[in-house]
Amino acid sequence: MAEKKLGIIRRFFRFIGKIVTAIRYLFSLFFVGFFLLIIVGMFAEDIQPIPDKGALYLAPSGVLVDQKTFTDPFDQIFLGSSQRDSETLVRDIIEALDSARNDSRITHLLLDTDYMAGGGISKLEEISSALLRFKKSGKPIIAVGDNFNQQQYFLASHADEILLNPLGAVSITGFGTYRSYFKEALDKLKININVFRVGDYKSAVEPFLGNNMSPQVKQESRELIDSLWQFYSSQVEQLRGLPDGAIDDFANNLHFKLQAANGDSSALAKEQNLVDQIATRTEMFAYLNEVLPGTDGEFDSINMKAYLNHSRLSSRSSAAAKAHKVALVVAKGSIADGEQPEGSVGGDTLAGIFSSLRDDSDVKAVVLRIDSGGGSAFASDIIRDAISATQKKGIPVVVSMGSYAASGGYWIAADADRVLALSTTLTGSIGVFGIIPTVENSLAALGVYSDGVGTTDIAGMMQLDRPMTQQSKMIFQAGVDNVYTRFISLVADGRNSTPAEVHEIAQGRVWTGEKALELGLVDQLGDLNDAIVVAAELANLEEYKVDYRRKPLTVYEQLLMEMNTNVSASLSGLGVSSLLPVSLRQQAAGILKPLQILDTLNDPRGIYLYCGNCPL
């Protein structure tokens, strides 16, 4: 008997059922594969052993930072290594170098700067100190690169040998500070910018007041970049054995020199003794096989991340016996009110971290690493108050300044028990400003007007569609003046000075760490490790462990971060860098970038301690 043919409705639903079943199987396979990646990733980073004799391969990626910018862990899984590797912690590099110089298994340092995007002269200075300590061990440093930009070359100049690709170049152009000015554009848009400030050198608001740099700020900027350039050029000349003025001559006459070299940049770099060998990648690899220890004709090496995993594992057992802690807290980025993710400084976030430190009986000292040009005056004082409360419990607080600790960054540093800066740190900028835009003229040009009534003359002072009255301007200026008075008094108390003396070096002026030491704004020059030693001395600690404290993560965030790390490690081992194509990742980054600055200026009173001249 023939099978009865199914009706069209039953066939349709059977077809839908098969699709649902297929989707269910696909999801099952996806989740099984996903968790297999997690399991494999748990062991992926521990696979590479330290060779009996080999090189430490140091290849910093992205920007050198004191604290990595927070990215949602779930997003990282899909954005892949492009986001994860966009920043490298300076302290990781220094820790690896200091461990490797005393490790008999590490015979050489292989430095590859091709993946490094930059990070500022102070970050380079700190790594430079670690490289010089490594060199004292007698272990050779070899630097390789397809090209060397100015910051990459500073690190490469520490090497005993520098190898450059034949189609590469050493690009040294000098330092400069340039910015855009919007006054004419604002006038055309009929936007009124009401500025309130104290300090002739408080340059953060200058782009709204004119179309060029004021003479006083231009003079200050010239002095700053000349000082930093002197440090850079003299260090490179000393490291490479070049005559005084050689780097200036190379940069200022590059057009003539390159023309004489028939446009061959690599040949010019070798002629100027900036590099030692010109070699293709194949030739570089062959040379490294000759000079580095290895097996089966190939040199042995271990990358920084794997090496740190091994060295930290071995150091945990000795550190576990040490009960006393020196806590390390990082304040990196713009200072904003409330809770903020890592990569920004939240007033409530940092205050909460200090509160937890006060409740930890094992914490005997705190090192606050500041890498911030300031921001909200209110948030800065919330942090200062939390630091003061910690000191009152008998816990010394030592500040270590990074690339810059200025304006609000200096506000939170001034009361510390000891302040250390690098010679190239930018600090000071003791000044205050407020900025209120109004758009009444812009709206009027469109036929939109504001009108109404209020119970007082200042009832509408915060409406951006109305012009600021004279009373409103006086109120805002009085608030700015008051915060400046508080600022110089705070500095005077913290630095054993007087408000009048502080005012002489304040007014928004920015200083290098070396000059700040002369002026009494810092106590000594030194890096993060020096600050940790000072903190231990102030707490009378002979044995201690460094405890890096960060913003507490939720259980959900911790789980996703662990999953992200393991999945990323597995995908990397399989040669897959991301679950999204590069083009889509770049588009996503471009779309999301504007959202990152929406909350940076959120002071409740609109009063800011921000150094506009710091990120040179």
Residue positions annotated with a catalytic role: 202, 407
Q: Within 13 A of 277's CA, how many CA atoms are on the CB side?
A: 18
Residue with tokens 């597995």: 570
Q: Are 90 and 66 in contact (CB under 8 A)?
A: yes
Residue with tokens 């996806």: 30
Cβ burial of 436 (10 Å; 0-12, 13-18, 19+) is: middle
Closest C-alpha to 357, from 549, 502, 132, 578: 549
Q: Are 199 and 502 in contact (CB under 8 A)?
A: no
SS3 label, residue 70 = coil
Q: What are phi and psi of 302, to 5 degrees?
A: -140, 135
Q: Beta-carbon neighbour count of residue 102 at 10 Å?
A: 10
Q: Within 13 A of 229's CA, how many CA atoms are on the CB side?
A: 18
Taking the CA atoms of 315, 566, 339 and 121 in sequence, report the sign of the dihedral they define: positive
Angle between helices 90-101 and 304-320 (to 10 degrees): 80
Q: Are 461 and 475 in contact (CB under 8 A)?
A: yes
Closest C-alpha to 205, from 482, 611, 596, 616: 611
Single-letter amino acid code for the residue at 241 = G
Q: Could you give the CA distance from residue 116 to residue 97 in angstroms, rounded to a whole number?
A: 17
SS3 label, residue 57 = strand
Q: Could you give the CA distance from residue 603 to residue 336 in angstroms, rounded to a whole number?
A: 7
Question: Residue 278 is encoded by which pair of tokens?
Answer: 């010109």
Strand extents, DSSP E, 258-358:
277-278, 294-295, 298-299, 301-303, 325-332, 335-336, 345-346
Q: Are 292 and 110 in contact (CB under 8 A)?
A: yes
Taking the CA atoms of 464, 469, 470 and 475 in sequence, report the sign of the dihedral they define: negative
| Residue partners of 19: CB distance under 8 A and separation at least 6 | none
Residue with tokens 């002739």: 200
SS3 label, residue 547 = strand
**Alpha-carbon distances, residue 165 vs 112, 147, 156, 282, 303 (angstroms):** 12, 7, 14, 10, 22
Cα 595–chain centre separation = 18
Q: Could you give the CA distance from residue 395 to residue 417 in angstroms, rounded to a whole number?
A: 10
Q: Could you give the CA distance from residue 518 to residue 515 in angstroms, rounded to a whole number?
A: 5
Single-letter amino acid code for the residue at 169 = A
Q: What are phi and psi of 363, to 5 degrees?
A: -80, 115
